[in-house]
Amino acid sequence: MITTANAREQIGFIGLGLMGHGIAKNIVEKGYPLTFLGRKNRAPAEDMIARGATEVSTPGDVAAHSTIVFLCVTSSREVEAIVRGPDGLKTGLKPGSVVVDCSTSDPDSTIALAAELSTIGVDLVDAPLGRTPKEAWAGTLDTMVGASDAIFARLTPVFDTWAGRVVHIGATGDGHRMKLLNNFLSLGYAALYSEALALAQKVGISPDRFDSIIRDSRMDCGFYQTFMKWTLEGDRDAHKFTIANALKDLTYLESMADAVGVANPLGNAAKNSFAGLAATGGADQYIPMLATHIGRINGVDLTPPEKHESDGA
């Protein structure tokens, strides 16, 4: 809810993708003025205009109209280009502004950008996301925030417009470090589930029989349930997170582990599972479809029955 203390905030937004569109929608619905960067996919942009947001054509224009700018893009490469590029955020940011990176980014890049922006009086905060586009639209995402106490307090009312669980995990960089650890667990589960399903099928235990044991047991969890919706029901949209993003995140995890001298064999094994599907043209598929791929390379068919004729996953 907007109060007198934060009514002066002008919000900028770059990245109206699967997650970003829902976040931006909720910020506007809760009454904050919002300026966003236009994109080729016009549907989210037109929706935001209809809700009262203002479209501009460059990151610099977003910055010039904003006191807080949210970024929700794919990787550090995109974040760096948005900040540093021609007509980038640095051309329009004013001292006292805050840039909030909701992407899953490389912590080393985050720290470098934070130092760079501090020289012009701008704070960089990392606030990567948990949960799925469904929760983004509902305004119930999780976020793990790396920021100073003062900046976190300033941002909390805006976070509360789109997040159901906001955790101040530490200083700038810690949000992205924690997000990589979070995704190591979830993507590790995905690799384990996929291999277990393939082995089960190979020894004559079907996915539905496998599920009858795991579901409602101590091994069950929310991630398992959304992951299994593809194999059991053919629901391709239950967990809309791409193989390409999974591979990127586990590559960042590997780099983080290497930087501090920690052996990461399980992370590398999970990364290689996703790399194999990406290399065969599956980068744009969603992570539950890894099970189909792992089954296929092991000579078993885990494609949902109703999808055999209509979907090449």
Residues catalogued as catalytic = 179
- Give CA–CA dist 218/206, Å, rounded: 20
Q: Quickly list DSSP for 87-100.
A: T-GGGT--TT-EEE
Task: Report pLDDT for 312.
Answer: 44
Domain spanning 177-307: CATH superfamily: N-(1-d-carboxylethyl)-l-norvaline Dehydrogenase; domain 2 (1.10.1040.10)
pLDDT at 41: 86
How much of the chain is in helix, strand and coil states, percent to nearest 5? 55, 15, 35
Q: What is the pLDDT along the chain (313 residues), one digit of tens a residue?
A: 555 555 689 999 999 999 999 999 999 999 999 999 988 889 999 999 999 999 999 999 999 999 999 999 999 999 999 999 999 999 999 999 999 999 999 999 999 999 999 999 999 999 999 998 999 999 999 999 999 999 999 999 999 999 999 999 999 999 999 999 999 999 999 999 999 999 999 999 999 999 999 999 999 999 999 999 999 999 999 899 999 999 999 999 999 999 999 999 999 999 999 999 999 999 999 999 999 999 999 999 999 977 544 444 4
In whole angstroms, what is the distance from residue 208 CA to residue 47 CA? 40
Residue 2: its pLDDT value, please?
A: 57
Owner of token pair 């948005």: 82
Domain 11-172 grouped into CATH 3.40.50.720: yes
- Which part of the chain is CATH 3.40.50.720? 11-172
Helix 207-214, helix 174-202: angle, nearest 10:
130
Confidence at residue 307, expressed as pLDDT on a 0 to 100 scale? 59
Provide the greatest CA pair distance for the chain.
Answer: 64
Q: Which residues of the chain does CATH 1.10.1040.10 include? A: 177-307
Contact 77, 71 (CB under 8 A): no
Query: What's the first-to-final CA gap in the chain, in angstroms?
Result: 43
CB of 132 closer than 8 Å to CB of 226: yes
User: Hunting for tokens 């079907």 — which residue is that?
Assistant: 206
DSSP, collapsed to helix, strand or coil, labels residue 165 as strand
pLDDT of residue 245: 95
Cα distances from 36 to residues 10, 60, 72, 138, in angstroms, run: 11, 11, 11, 20
- Angle (deg, nearest 10), helices 174-202 and 243-259: 120
